[in-house]
Structure 1
């Protein structure tokens, strides 16, 4: 399975709650840049799991314009900044198995994403994710490898 972990785009702070923060213009632009970059090597996703927070939903709206409709996409309430990495990793793997997904995209938040990488790939310290940043984990059976991590400033 190819597991693409993506942090939402840059969000503003003018909101009633953290959950309601919206993408900035820069956040939308960086998401489009990453979408175009990613679309050069991936044409579609079998499964997309998205945080219930507004900025993650908006990131998926921008991203989805660059890919064909996934077989299944879901809002997963556990994909929040304070989500439990072990539970979230188990949830992602269970959904991937349920929907027989080989290419899975998860759109969520820091610090959860960094801890998820450590949970899924043995011996890897939690990496930081830039906003709109994406990491690819290649997972087969019990083996998982961190293949790459890119951010808007690191792509050409």
Structure 2
């Protein structure tokens, strides 16, 4: 099973609260760029998508959903906000591992870095660019970070 962890696209600062920060045009474009790169790798489709209830994560999912395979299920979660509990989220994802071939989570720093570390301890807690994506192979209760990339490392010509 593969777990894809994505940080939301670049967000503006013009909002009353952190939860209400919208994506910028660059954030929309970079997220779509990453989704177009990811889509051909999703051979078995997309089982479950979980996105944060913050506006920028919801907008990221709404944008990339146009180019990714339609998932079996989509959840919005208040548990995967910037300072969510990585141990709780990792437990939830691993409990779902038997039910799905792939899971995509759209969330925030610092949670995404800590979550990679929880699922694949050898990887440490990596930093994510906005719209960055990590892929973890999950087998028999253990995770292995296969890759971590961002919009500035994927040439446009490859898509």
Helix, strand or coil for the counterpart of 2:121? coil
Find the counterpart in structure 2 of residue 15 from structure 1: 15
Report the number of matched residues.
154
Shift of 1:141: 1.1
1:50-129 equivalences in 2 (<5 Å)? 50-97=51-98, 100-129=99-128
Q: How big is the alpha-carbon RMSD for the aligned residues of Structure 1 and Structure 2?
A: 1.1
How has the CA–CA distance of structure 1 residues 76 and 96 changed in structure 2, closer, same or farther, with 3 Å as cutoff?
farther
Shift of 1:143: 2.1
In the alignment, the residues of structure 2 paired with residue 123 and residue 18 of structure 1 have an alpha-carbon distance, to the nearest angstrom, of 32
Q: Structure 1: which 5+ runs fail to align?
A: none
Preserved CA contact (<8 Å) 1:48 1:74: yes
Helix, strand or coil for the counterpart of 1:48? strand
Preserved CA contact (<8 Å) 1:12 1:22: yes
Q: Tell me the TM-score normalised to structure 1 length.
A: 0.95
Helix, strand or coil for the counterpart of 2:82? coil
Q: Tell me the TM-score normalised to structure 2 length.
A: 0.93
1:86-115, CA deviations, whole angstroms, 9 ceiling, x for partnerless residues?
011112222344xx1111000000000000
Q: Structure 2: which 5+ runs fail to align?
A: none
